[in-house]
Amino acid sequence: MAVFVFDMDGTLTPARLPMESLFALRFLPWLKKNKAFIATGSNIEKVKEQLPEDILEAFSGIYCAMGNDLWAKGNWVYHKDFEPEKELMEKLEEFRKNTKYPYSVYDNYIEKRTGMINFSVLGRDCPYRERERYYGWDLKSHEREAIQHELSAIFPQYDFVLGGTISIDIVKKGCGKGQIADDLRQKFPKEKIIFFGDKTYPGGNDYELAFALRKMENTQVVQVENPNQVLRFLEIV
């Protein structure tokens, strides 16, 4: 029997929004009959905000914070934390202070999660519509990419991965989504592992996991554009 792994934002739900009820209705019966995991950069609080309880319960495990946190059936299975250097935190403050973004910025711009930091010049407490505005501006200004390059040069001991639309995920080298592939292969040495993500291409935040899985035998990576494509692939539409 195969083991299924799903990214959350953009794959099972629209980015940072709750799972659509029609999707949940179709997905739940399939989920109850299969072994499936979530692999997300988000923390468990956000996962709980976005997924209905019966869906959460039906997953065999939920890898949060890039796999630095594993939850199963409401229990915290493991966590790998770290304390970021003062110099890194100061540099993030500097980027926030010196941004050329011409509109308002919001609080919660450095979010510490288990084993990672999520940094957003805009601030995670922004209203939803402000995400779109920042994303559009970032596509033209390439602010996140510039920050990513500068930070990678100064702090080679970390990986800086562009998050969804407004942020950068920061992890210690080797502690990104790729570690989920190793943990799953240890748990399931023989089973086929099938991973669904909306950003499995280079530069996307599912890439590291997709890359690690592609190097292993008996795996499959499915690039999707939205939750409906997941249903279509699983033939439950």
Q: Rounded to a whole number, what is the largest CA-CA distance in the chain?
A: 53
Of 40-48, 74-82, 91-99, 229-237: span binding ligand M1P (CB under 6 A): 40-48
Helix-helix angle 128-141:143-154, to 10 degrees? 70
Q: Considering the complex, what minimum distance in angstroms separates the CB of residue 196 from ligand M1P?
A: 13
The answer to the question of residue 164 lying near ligand M1P (CB under 6 A) is yes
Closer of 9 and 213 to ligand M1P (Cβ): 9
Please name every residue paired with 230 in a beta bridge, in sequence order, or none if there are none.
Answer: none
CB 192 within 8 Å of CB 106: no
Q: How far is the CB of 55 from ligand M1P (least distance, A)?
A: 16
Q: Which structure tokens are listed for 127?
A: 């209203």
One of 41, 61, 178, 197 touching ligand M1P (CB under 6 A): 41
Instruction: Tell me the helix, strand and coil percentages in the chain, rounded to 5.
Output: 40, 20, 40
The nearer residue to ligand M1P, 26 or 131, going by C-beta atoms, is: 131
Provide the token pair at 96. Answer: 């926030």
Cβ 60 to ligand M1P shortest distance, Å:
20
Task: Compute the distance between CA of residue 218 and CA of residue 206 in angstroms, rounded to an integer.
Answer: 18
Residues 183-222 vs ligand M1P: string with x where CB under 6 A? ----------------------x-----------------
Instruction: Name the β-bridge partners of 142.
Output: none
Judged by CB, which is closer to ligand M1P: 7, or 213? Answer: 7
Site for ligand M1P in 9-28 (CB under 6 A): 9, 15-16
115: its two tokens? 């084993």
- Residue 37 main-chain phi, psi, to 5 deg: -130, 155
Binding positions for ligand M1P, rule: CB under 6 A: 8-9, 15-16, 40-42, 118, 163-167, 169, 205
